Amino acid sequence: MDMLIGGKHISSDDLEDVINPYNGEVIDTIPIAHIQTVKLAIAEANNAKDELSEMSAFKISNKLFNVVNKLKEKREEFAKILSLEIGKPINESLVEVDRSIETLKLAAEEAKRIYGESVPLDAGLNGKGFFAFTQRLPLGVVAAITPFNYPLNLTIHKIAPAIACKNTTIIKPPTEAPLAVMKFAELLNEEFPDGVVNTVTGYGSEVGDYLVTSQDVNKISFTGSVTTGLMISQKAGMKRVTLELGGNDPMIVLNDADIDKAVKGVINGAFLNAGQVCMGVKRIIIEDSIACEFCEKLVSETEKLVMGNPLDPKTTLGTLISKKAAIQVEEAVNNAVDMGAKVLTGGTRDGSFYEATVIDNVTPEMDLVSNETFGPIAPIIRVKNLDEAIEVANDTDYGLQAGVFTSDYASAMRCANEIEAGTVFVNKQSTFRTDNMPFGGFKNSGVGKEGIKYAVEEMTKIKLIGLNLR
């Protein structure tokens, strides 16, 4: 599949296969862009700014709604592509497409709500007799660098609000799973002027690095690793950045919790997309008095998951993105076992598959939980009380989302106030997101917020206009 630049399909002498992680088959090939191609994409995006700027909010909104309808028509086709390139179960892929449709709707609606405000200058010294108001203006060119785990939805979270507030865009999709993103860019290009949406495929060390350092790109919106995010923040200079860098999300279960509800939270939170979710349940911090009952029920529910062909509707656990990724999870689990942890169920790898695994007697210093493990793992950390639970929850360099299960709202509010995370859910796991909420974490989980309204704020600049009426 070719890149889309300035409305034209562009290839390269260098190609790379897109591999189905389930069976190792080649799905398609993509071009590997080099700097000259990236320069062309940046130039085309800048050339398209004036034409997009001349479009009314009404027209942009309607065009985004047109894309909503096109994506609805191709729902099953996009879901199949996602399952083929990621190894995600088809039912989860359908949910990703449905969320993408809703995210687009939100952007189409938000295109009509980009307000300024009046500013009472007479509240300041010598301000009497002035009338002032603000406008929100587009930054210019927004570059979106997206990951493999939710490539379609996370790309739309970046480029839909960008276009809604009249920025042109360049998308660098994930090399492992670029096809759904590239196909979606074609739908947008059918509605908007050439150059408003551009795709460049290639390696982050070349394509991503040039986008980050170019003075002709005005914002970088990146979702990925902390290491890459830190490099982006150091190289971006004066341009705006939004960095969504993952998490090591805790789920606290207190002794007065509804255990069945908490177990369901782990099943939905730790094993979704084979655990490849930045806001997934990565650490289950549970009071020791209920840990044995909780583990017994969790093992029983975990063993009901069906691992198999991602295109089979009965499959509830797909592959990891690659065999290499599965080996990394395997090594993290084995190291924890060597340090005293106990696998209660799972713990076996088969190619790119890794079984849904419940592992008990985990301690905070184990690499399995001291760093983010991107796999279908439910690590149990036992604690004595609420004080220790909060201390363990905060003992991480990340702070994306968190959940606490309890029937005592005093305990719930204490967790909400004291856990260092961008979002804390009560009686819900961290792996929950609506596409209109502000999404973004603290500490090494990144800077800035996504969620359409909040993304628009990050993708616009404020101009003040003052009138002297004296």
Q: Which residues are catalytic?
A: 244, 278
Could you tell me the two tokens for 122? Answer: 């007479």
Tell me which residue of 344, 367, 328 sits closest to 263, measured CA to CA.
Answer: 344
Could you give the angle at the alpha carbon of 344 between the alpha carbons of 83 and 341, nearest 5°? 105
